[in-house]
Structure 1
Amino acid sequence: MTDSPRVTEPHADAVGRPSLTAFAALHHAAEPLFLPNAWDRASATALAARGFPAIGTTSLGVAAAAGLPDGASATRDETLRLARALGTGPFLLSVDAEDGYSEDPTAVGEFTRELAAAGAVGINLEDALGPVRRHADKIAAVKAAAPGLFVNARTDTYWLGEGGERETLRRLDAYQQAGADGVFVPGLTDPGTIAAVVRRVEVPLNILYSPDGPSVPHLADLGVRRVSLGSLLYRRALGAALEAVADIGTGRRPLGPAPSYAEVDGLSRYGTPPGTAR
């Protein structure tokens, strides 16, 4: 696998909208789907302009922008608003839907129906280590309400440090049986365990990239079919802003590239600013 993602031209439906088939196919290509996560229209469009055929959202970025806690089912409206802003973009959109923003599977299904209507072709749905059966019921409800959505079922065994390989596999088995199209184990970085999970699951495995974990090429060699960046780009952008303001305040010239005003304005309008590579 090369350092740059392979650009796959998505198929489109009769009205030119990207189809689920194109998104699902990215999980079965020669190289894993390398999925960056955006937090607004400009960041999503900028990533698409670099050749990424699919873009995810980051729940932390959504929550931070709204002044709300992440992972607390507090950003339902903000998530839907972002999906509507991005759903007509020139890329395939996967939405981080936290736990579906409800304990009621029917309500979760209805919410994801709204996401699909907004243009999303995939979602992440996390269990945050709640009851296995409840999360499986949510997955089934989503597949019934929005059959076209690619459901990436996330278990938080390693993310929260509450359950090892055996518990992870137990949960992933249940989620696959409920209809999940892919499974996601953030926080899992051990190569041996990743390979063991790949051998056991029947759907594509998604791993969250960690600077302290395997590289993207190594994850590909282990059989991982999707590598997400989660909130990393958002946090790096915030870090760069803090570094720049510190440099400026002490008389140093800030380092690193900065898009021009016109470029960012163009990105936010789904335009292609001058000098932006497609």
Structure 2
Amino acid sequence: MNQSGPAGQHTVRRHNSALVLNTIATADGLSRASVAARTGLTKATVSSLVDRMITAGLVVDGGPEHRVGRGRRGTALSLSPTGPHGLGVEIGVDTLSCALVDLTGRVRVSWTRDVEPRGRTVEEGLSQVADLVGLAQAEAARLGVSVGGVGVAVPGLVESSTGLLRSAPNLGWRDVPLHTELRARTGVTDRPLLVGNEANLAGLAELWFGGREDRRDFVHVSGEIGIGAGLVVSGELFPGVRGFGGEIGHLSVDPAGPPCSCGGRG
């Protein structure tokens, strides 16, 4: 039986950094001491990690911590609104959309173009996406912020492990290596680039920014040209075996029924 070796210092630091950052993100206004109490890490470890995050522009010090009880109040921590921004792209059936979002979830600027990707070739569609990403990157530079990563939502079957678009019936696209193609066309080679089904990503957005911390199990249904769903179970996206778990619009009801543009019947 194979066993992995002990985690290295870098791996432990990454894990602890993610733990601290998530705690600050989900409970804005905590002090270093409060973060240590919630995470179980030592105060010295939390202080060191927070200092590194402040230097990296991820976290900022605020005013006194808001809490009940006696004792000295520490400095409140929060995510930096001027830190790295996320760049989101949606390849819709009738439109292309793009937005820059800061770490607090606020949309700084967004664009929508009525270019109707449906019926266009893959090359034409991806060239339009690359143009929009370039526009967003230029705007980020003008605002003086960096782009920390790019997320692309598409109305189709996307393999979660590879970023391969197996089929987008309403676009007429099939077997497109979106992850590889977009990296090459946009020049985003040194930052994370995530490609996913639009309903799955919408489900995650509802989980993270829907304003209901107690909402841990739900189905987010996306019904526009097609019908898809993001399945969230125990606070995590349930993608299914290959990432197709929420494709309720392409479930076969009658195997002998009429052919569908997705390749199935009925």
Structure 2 length-normalised TM: 0.30
Report which of the two has the higher share of helix. Answer: 1
Structure 1 length-normalised TM: 0.29
